[in-house]
A and B are shown apart, each in its own frame.
Chain A
């Protein structure tokens, strides 16, 4: 009996010692302002914000706190400036709606800014009418999960990015839903981050944008109807796995834009109905495997200075042009892909066509030179000259051949 009593007492003591206080904020409570609550709180306290609208901005979180919203309370910044700034480690933000971020041409106001902090977690937020959404600078080991960011960007110069990373690392960005901002998710000088299961659509510029960021991975995301799906520039060792790039239409629209990218892996992605599936410029040693290119204008457009890339076991289905090349040199390998326009046969029945396939058509050269000729696409005359080029290549690189084209769609 006494032993049990002592155990209970000690349990109680331990719990009061380690578990921090909860401070409630609501319109009718003692505390009706978030700023006051933060000033009152001790380290590791929880601030519980009840349902309601709070007209506050410049909320500075300078100690490790958990700020939880109950029933999605709305924090309205009244377009005055930045709303929440986190400068302490171990901060959690959960379940808030943040609206009306101020727009400035000199400062990047954000709905939530994380500044030189570690181990933060930002989840279940709804951001609307914003300039920048979640801005993470010089911070590490954080999570950005289950947020919904809905902007109303019209022009590039006066709009911000949904989730913006700058000089940060080890950030996990998962299950977010970003639309109508400039860049859905933007990484600059940010390494070792995971971006998974996000949906980024209808953004002005890119769904996802990498600049000078290395060793990042993005997987199972969907990029739809953006200015361009994903732009990866000046970065190394990026893994792009199982993403969907869809309906990025326009004269400068790409599903995926690669510029100065080395040693990347692009595996298991689907590119569907983009003007250009992948646009490659100055990118080396990239592995393209198990991707589906369906109904794109150009599945892959190779601009130049691309060496030792390998395309294996991809499906090229009903694209207007499979590969477009603008030089006569080729150092890239195309092997064992399925091409829907392949017309060869397989006599030994081993699943590999007996006649090699030339993915670059003469017409794609002509269109590169004189874009207006696109209007003659699928004309009988064009088929004739394509055929004669196929028989004896003059303009297209003669070693650009898939020696082992598949007879049936590649499966994996």
Chain B
């Protein structure tokens, strides 16, 4: 598996897209820092970018890579290799190279700007960690979609739809349902609602750092326990890990049974 991972990883590292992705984050980081001159504001803007763009790029890239390397995959399948090894290797290669572009692209300008001396370093590392998690989650989801759809156009369509649903539509439905049932105690439900969507989950994680004073304004005891203690952080991370494990295990399951 390591060999395939290495192959995919270096294949992507050599490809144009990784550089474009890396350059994009580098540019974003530089523009944010040197036009804003304010680290805390830059972290907030960055958060908006990360929770929207990282999933989008992860999904599109994952689907694209799968379809592009399909012939090579079929060649590999003819070799005496385990199927899970092939697909997991490819998946990890894509996810790792994307995360690397993200971390380096955003990290470098911030390091040069003097991040280590600033107290925003924890907020910032949290951003990068959630960004990497989102990459892993959405690449895995993309591989799932690609594995289930032979038709490229359909695959891309579903991938975009998935992103649109989780990034925008889900929150809309969520908001509507909260307002609709406002007469009932909703704190448990709303926390559950966030756990079910990885984008909301990472947003909450970052909110815990950035907007804790506003979050504590709500009176519910469950909220208070969740946001006021480390419990929120632990649960959110656990849920994020679960969000990686579930799609990955479906990749393994699906790849074993798929007829090529």
- By a beta-carbon cutoff of 8 Å, the part of chain A in contact with chain B is 249-251, 253, 273-276, 295-298, 318, 320-321, 340, 366, 369-384
Contacts and interface: CB of A to CB of B under 8 A. Distances in A.
Given A372-B189, A379-B200, 12 more contacts: A275-B213, A297-B213, A370-B178, A372-B178, A374-B215, A375-B190, A375-B193, A375-B194, A376-B171, A377-B214, A380-B171, A381-B172
Contacts of B204: 375
Interface stretch (B21-29, B98-106, B146-154, B216-224): B216-224
B186 interface: yes
B159 interface: no
Interface stretch (B6-14, B44-52, B81-89, B127-135): B44-52
Contacts of A369: 179, 182
A376 B218 contact: no
B217 A378 contact: no
Interface string B153-192: 0000000000000011101101100110010001101110
Interface string B41-67: 100100110011000000000000000
Contacts of B224: 251
Interface of B is mostly: helix
5 contacts: A297-B213, A372-B182, A373-B190, A375-B204, A381-B169
B74 interface: no
Given A366-B175, A372-B186, A380-B171, A321 B214 contact: yes
Nearest to B172: A381
Contacts of B171: 376, 379-382
B73 interface: no
Interface of B: 40-41, 44, 47-48, 51-52, 167-169, 171-172, 174-175, 178-179, 182, 186-187, 189-191, 193-194, 200, 203-204, 206-207, 210-220, 223-224
Contacts of B214: 275, 296-298, 320-321, 374, 377
Q: Which 5 A-B pairs have CB atoms at the shortest separation, nearest pair first?
A: A297-B214, A320-B214, A381-B171, A297-B213, A251-B219
Contact of A378 (B48, B178, B213): B48
Nearest to A274: B213
A374 B186 CA distance: 12
Nearest to B184: A372
B203 A378 contact: yes
A296 B213 contact: yes
A71 B167 CA distance: 67
Contact of A297 (B191, B217, B223): B217
Nearest to B219: A251
A362 to B, nearest CB: 11
A274 B44 CA distance: 18
B213 A273 contact: yes
B48 to A, nearest CB: 7
Residue among A273, A295, A376 having the largest count of chain B Cβ atoms under 10 Å: A376
A380 to B, nearest CB: 5
Contacts of A378: 47-48, 203, 206-207, 210-211
Contacts of B203: 378-379
A284 B179 CA distance: 33
A364 B194 CA distance: 20
B167 A380 contact: yes
A146 B200 CA distance: 50
A379 to B, nearest CB: 5
A259 to B, nearest CB: 18
B174 A372 contact: no
A276 B218 CA distance: 11
A371 B44 contact: no
A371 B210 CA distance: 18
B104 to A, nearest CB: 25
Contact of B217 (A373, A374, A376, A383): A374
Contacts of B47: 378
B168 A249 contact: no
A379 B206 CA distance: 11
Contacts of A298: 214, 217
Contacts of A320: 211, 213-214
A384 B168 contact: yes
B200 A318 contact: no
Nearest to A249: B216
A243 B204 CA distance: 32
A228 to B, nearest CB: 12
B179 A377 contact: no
Given A275-B213, A275-B216, A380 B168 contact: yes
Contact of B218 (A273, A295, A372, A382): A372
Nearest to A384: B168
Given A251-B219, A375-B204, A380 B52 contact: yes
Contacts of A383: 48
B119 to A, nearest CB: 12
B52 to A, nearest CB: 6
A302 to B, nearest CB: 15
Contacts of B169: 381
A370 B189 CA distance: 13
Residue among A296, A298, A340, A372 having the largest count of chain B Cβ atoms under 10 Å: A372
A374 to B, nearest CB: 5
Contacts of B193: 375
Nearest to A375: B190
Contact of A374 (B52, B179, B200, B218): B218
B168 A318 contact: no
Contact of A381 (B168, B216, B219, B223): B168
Given A251-B217, A378-B47, A370 B179 contact: yes
